[in-house]
A = this chain, B = another copy of it.
Amino acid sequence: MNEIEKLAAAAKKASVVLSASGTMLRNKAVAAIADEIEKNSAEIIAANELDIAAARENGISESLIDRLSLSEKRIYAIAEAVRDVCRLEDPIGKLDGGGVRPNGLQIRKVRVPLGVVGMIYEARPNVTADAAVLCLKSGNACVLRGGKEAIRSNIAIAKTMRAAISSVGLPEDCITLVEDTSRQTATDMMKANGLIDVLIPRGGAGLIRSVVQNATVPVIETGTGNCHIYVDATADIDMAVRIAVNAKCSRPSVCNAAESFLIHKDAAEAFLKAVKSPLDRYQVEIRGCSRTREILGDEIRKATEEDYATEFLDYKVSVLIVDSIEEAMEHIAEYGTKHSECIVTESYKNAMLFTERVDAAAVYVNASTRFTDGGEFGLGAEIGISTQKLHARGPMGLEHLTTVKYIVTGEGQTR
């Protein structure tokens, strides 16, 4: 057994105890985690300062260091987020269907935990607490492997959480952190069939691609969003500008941000002239097709094929003027990542067509793609946004960390 298999086997053993625990005990454990994280904030911040010093030494960018940093205030926010999870409805034990069959067999389809959830993620240490608590609440043990930049912070947070759940009587291996952040441990997690029931990667496109390509355990693909705003011929231009600017600029680093504007030729001049100055205010770099440059001028950089395929996650946007809604939908089918796609239109027919034909987790009419989010969709919390079609699609909440079991009770029935 390699180190990961040992950790995962310990988590599996703990998961058996956890899956048989009740809602009250699991809530008590979650509440204890929130309290302990607050109580241990000095220790966690001290560990975090070592991570930040190491990051500075390694020349890590300031924006990454910002994501890595924990303050008293941020730790308080983490604890509050943990308490929010405590208040969510328990998905375990919910009856999902069933009934009595003609032969008298009684069938119940019951929600049960998945077992052991593996998470591979990057720099932000708050994910360590978020992910552990969502797994715990839904009766799953977890094996967490964060990025090496946050390892000292993650160790401090995990130690705190393990002590907290142990104090209420649950096995501490319900929350397991991988301390060795070498590439090998990630690979070993991808191959831990029978020990890890599902692996959820959270991070950049490279990480996610690597997991999808190499994992033999079931994976839920999350995240990459090359999202489009299509401004139809009949669009209300003011509304289109508001939506486009919000989708691009309100938080460009997240997956539900827009990366590309597609504009019907009849709306192109009005929309582009109106959207230019708000985009300029955010210093958004526009990369446009030749028709875009005819309208906005040659100072606009020419968009390449690669630009249309890129999730910038930055103050950059690609623009393409199209002749028809069909051309827009074909472009989305080719370049989109099936995350979130939007049409701005006043045409009933085109709204129907777009929502029916575009293949994505979330398809919007006249609203910003930024709403694709567990909180905004009313799921209460989110473990990630699935861009695959199996098991879960779109924002994943507690329910998506469960599976079903058929319980069949009889009186000696045979077939």
Partner of A389, one of B16, B351, B403: B403
CA distance A360 to B378 in the complex (A): 31
Would A220 and B390 be within 8 Å (CB), given that A16-B357, A415-B376 are in contact?
A: yes
A355 within 8 A of partner (CB): yes
**Among residues 348 to 363 in chain A, which have CB atoms less than 8 Å away from a CB atom of chain B?**
351, 355-357, 359-363
Q: Hey, what's the 0/1 contact readout for A340-373 against B, CB within 8 Å counting as 1?
A: 0000000000010001110111111111101110
Assess the B198–A407 pair: CB atoms within 8 A: no
- CB-CB nearest in chain B for A344: B412
A24 within 8 A of partner (CB): no
Assess the A403–B414 pair: CB atoms within 8 A: no
A250 nearest CB across to chain B (Å): 6
Assess the A243–B414 pair: CB atoms within 8 A: yes
Size of A's binding interface in residues, CB under 8 A? 66
Cβ–Cβ < 8 Å partners of A405 in chain B: 359-363, 393
A296 within 8 A of partner (CB): no
A204 within 8 A of partner (CB): no
Partner of A105, one of B20, B218, B371: B371
Oligomer copy total = 2
Assess the B377–A107 pair: CB atoms within 8 A: yes
Cβ–Cβ < 8 Å partners of A351 in chain B: 409
Assess the A414–B101 pair: CB atoms within 8 A: no
**Among residues 165 to 179 in chain A, which have CB atoms less than 8 Å away from a CB atom of chain B?**
none
Partner of A367, one of B105, B193, B364, B394: B105
**Among residues 34 to 87 in chain A, which have CB atoms less than 8 Å away from a CB atom of chain B?**
none
Assess the B411–A218 pair: CB atoms within 8 A: no
Partner of A115, one of B197, B359, B410: B359
A216 within 8 A of partner (CB): yes
Cβ–Cβ < 8 Å partners of A355 in chain B: 407, 409
A406 within 8 A of partner (CB): yes
Would A412 and B366 be within 8 Å (CB), given that A115-B359, A389-B403 are in contact?
A: yes
CA distance A415 to B403 in the complex (A): 32
A353 nearest CB across to chain B (Å): 9
CA distance A363 to B362 in the complex (A): 36
CA distance A404 to B377 in the complex (A): 14
A156 nearest CB across to chain B (Å): 32
List 11 A-B residue pairs with CB atoms under 8 Å apart, sorted by A's residue number: A101-B376, A218-B219, A218-B390, A220-B390, A360-B405, A364-B409, A365-B410, A366-B412, A367-B411, A367-B414, A394-B406
Seen from chain A, the residues whose Cβ lies within 8 Å of a Cβ on chain B are 16, 19-20, 99, 101, 105, 107, 112, 114-115, 193, 197-198, 212-213, 216, 218-220, 236, 239, 242-243, 246-247, 250, 333, 351, 355-357, 359-368, 370-372, 376-378, 388-391, 393-394, 403-415
